[in-house]
Amino acid sequence: MENETRIRAPLLLTVPEIHKKTGLSIYMIRKMIEEDKIVTIRLGRKIFVNYDSLIRFLNGETA
């Protein structure tokens, strides 16, 4: 276990969870998703937002 590499899994939240955590409107979150401004994963009908990607976007950082 000496050379063990740890991989950090991204924090994925649903649109309502992002709304509750950040205070952003659901409309604004969905607009950012539609415009491919933040990284998302779609599983069936659920959309999961990569929280780190969202924070980078809000801080004006580019991908």
For residue range 13-26, what is the model confidence (pLDDT) as tens digits?
999 999 999 999 99
Range of the domain at 50: 12-58
Q: Helix or strand or coil: residue 56? A: helix
For the chain, give the mean pLDDT.
91
CA-angle at 31, arms to 28 and 36, nearest 5°:
130
Does 52 fall in a domain?
yes
pTM (whole model) above 0.95: no
Dihedral, CA of residue 20, residue 55, residue 39 and residue 41, to nearest 10: -30
Which alpha helices (DSSP H) does the chain contain, by range? Answer: 15-22, 26-34, 51-58
Does 23 fall in a domain?
yes
Does 25 fall in a domain?
yes
44 with 34: CB under 8 angstroms?
A: no
Does 3 fall in a domain?
no
Domain total of the chain: 1
pLDDT grade for 11, boundaries at 50, 70 and 90: very high
Does 31 fall in a domain?
yes
Does 5 fall in a domain?
no
Does 49 fall in a domain?
yes
Tell me what percent of the residues of the chain surpass a pLDDT of 70: 92
